[in-house]
Amino acid sequence: MKIQYCTDYEEVSQAAFDSFYNALKQDSKLSICVATGQSPTGVYERMAKNHQDEPERYTALQVVQLDEWFGLSSDDPSSCEYYIQNKIILPLNITEDRYLSFKNDAVAPEAECIRVQKELDICEPLDVCILGLGKNGHLGFNEPAATLSDVCHMSRLSETSVQHSMTKTMTNKPQYGLTVGMADILRSKKIILLVTGLGKEDILAQLLTQKITSQLPASFLWNHSNVECYIDSESL
C-alpha cells in the first residue's frame, strides 16, 4: 500500500483525482467502482469540472456502484443512487449502458445481488475502485465479521454504518445494505483509498499495523499490489 499523507481534504481530493485522471488518459474505456459519502465527493467534483473541459475523455467511462442502502427508493435524497446520479452519472453524462447499480427497492434482494454479480463476472476486472475507510474498517457494506463474502450480497449493517452521516435525514434507518463483495474489490487493477474526516484515528492506527483480519475488512487491502491510500491530517 502506497500511503500519502496530505495536509487537508482538498489535497486528498486533488491527489486522488490526479490518479484517476492518469488512468483515464491511458484507457478511455476505464471502469470505476464508486463509493459514496463525504470522503470521495471532492474527487467527483473534480471529475465533473474536468468533464466540462474535456468531455470527449468520458464518452466510454464505465461506472459501477459499490453499495446501496436496502429499502430506500432510488429518488430518496439519502440513497447512494441519488448521490451517484447527481455527483457522477449526470455531470459526466454516463449513459445507462455504462452504469451498473443495485436496485435498492428490489423485492428479492438476494436475486438482485446475483444479477449484479453476473454482470461483474461478464466484465473484465474493474480498473479503479474508489473507496472510503469506514469508522469500523468496513469497505462498502462489507462489515467486520468472522468471515467476509467474496460476492455481491445483502449485508446486515453494523451500528456504525446505521449511524453514518447519510442516514441522519432518514425517517427509518435501514438495517441492511447491498454491496459488491471483497473478491471484486480486490480484483480491481488499482484501488484508491480515501481516509478523511474526524473519528478515523483509531481504525487508521489499526489498519497501519498491517495485521490482516476479517474484523477489519480494509486490512485485506494489504494483499493487493496496487493500492494508493490518501490520508488527511484531520484523520490522524
Catalytic pick from 127, 143, 184, 232? Answer: 143
Catalytic pick from 50, 76, 105, 136? Answer: 136
- In 3D, which of 37, 63, 178 has the Cα closest to residue 120? 63
Q: Which residue has the cell 423485492?
A: 107
- In 3D, which of 61, 79, 60 has the Cα closest to residue 69? 79
3-state secondary structure of 50: helix
**67 in catalytic set:** yes
Edge-to-edge strand order for the sheet containing 153-156?
67-69, 176-179, 153-156
Q: How many CB atoms lie within 10 A of CB 169?
A: 9
Residues 38 and 69 sit within 8 Å (Cβ to Cβ): no
**138 in catalytic set:** yes
Catalytic pick from 51, 138, 153, 164? Answer: 138
Burial (CB count within 10 angstroms: exposed 0-12, middle 13-18, buried 19+), residue 15: middle
**136 in catalytic set:** yes
Catalytic residues: 67, 136, 138, 143
